[in-house]
Structure 1
């Protein structure tokens, strides 16, 4: 399903489904985005995630895709998959639910953006903000009222991309998010309230 479009830069964003699995596989490559993650880090207990790195995580996410689970959105530039944003109801993320730093602010039902992955050649070009906007729209299409995010505050201008996989605050601010809580020097909780 098409969830977002920016015709100025020829960017389209679709929800991940069975028909787009090969595109996610192409985007993530042999390393499964980063170190065999396959975007399963937040969905599993840490010990389980570590045991599954690589092919087992790939099988786990593929199984979720085949079950039509809500997983996130894929960005395409000129028809080529270039970016991913994981977004789903917060209760689907086990590690997030058990986090002290990211414990729930309130009892509101929220959707969570937990990961952004962009092909190396397209990083630092504003694609993450576009993906975040697409994730908000996808959440809205699924009747969400609040979208939450957990960006990392960069400690340096040259922070490796692998350390910023939850995004950075400025990208979320550009997409309309506001600070909701800060329980750590390097991590924030931000929210977008859908009207």
Structure 2
């Protein structure tokens, strides 16, 4: 794991401009704005772009932040979306990512690093910083993630890499608890 000084701040109306800077004009990928797991596919497609952006803005102005913005030397460079598993109905309905047990967890659903900062080993640092933040603020004692582990050294595609890469979670101290598909893992980390 690298030793960058990556810091995180919750997404609120105060950090909204920084979040937009990280996500770029496309809202991360294809107008998602990190709403993929929070909406049905029909709702997500109907809101693609400005609608999903407005929905995330509403969440950012709510009482519980939907994630954190990551900063390197004060510059916004990364994003991690999270919430209680119940915040992600699409994930709950998924045969692949449905809950493996009844443990109360905080689900990490999206990791996004600004293109200009990719390939610098920031994902593990982001995960560590997010877990530090959650250790201070979350009611749940366990963090759960759903990364991919591409086979044969292939790169993960944009559509499935949004949940992160397994090696970055291993480097941050997560352990595998299930593998619903050969390239898709469920991993956990204890906050306490």
Normalised by the length of structure 2, the TM-score is 0.92
Gaps of 5+ in 2: none
Q: What corresponds to 2:145 in structure 1?
A: 149
The equivalent residue for 2:166 is 169
State whether structure 2 residue 80 is matched by structure 1 residue 85. Answer: yes
Q: After superposition, give the CA deviation of every residue in 1:131-177 in whole Å (9 maximum; x if it has no partner).
A: 11122122222232111000011234444455411111110001111
Larger relative contact order, structure 1 or 2 (CA cutoff 8 Å, min sep 6): 2
Instruction: Find 1:61's aligned residue among 42, 56, 59.
Output: 56
Matched with 2:46 is 51
**Which of 123, 132, 139 in structure 2 is aligned with 1:128?**
123
Deviations 1:33-90 (A, max 9, x none): 1110000000001111111100000000001111233311111112111000111111
Question: 2:93 is matched with which residue?
Answer: 98
2-side partners of 1:134 and 1:125: how far apart? 16
Q: Given that residues 113 and 135 in structure 1 are in contact (C-alpha distance below 8 angstroms), is that contact kept between their aligned partners in structure 2? A: no
What is the alpha-carbon distance in structure 1 between the residues aligned to residue 53 and residue 63 of structure 2? Answer: 16
For the aligned residues, what is the CA RMSD?
1.6
Give unmatched runs, 5+ long, in structure 1.
1-5
How far residue 28 of structure 1 moved from its aligned partner, in angstroms, is 1.0
Query: Which portions of structure 1, spanning 4 or more consecutive aligned residues, are displaced by more than 3 angstroms?
Result: 155-163
**Count of equivalent residues:** 189
Please give the alpha-carbon distance, in whole angstroms, between the structure 2 residues aligned to 1:50 and 1:33: 15
Report the Cα offset of residue 10 of structure 1. 3.5
Provide the rounded CA distance (Å) in 1 between the counterparts of 2:154 and 2:119: 12
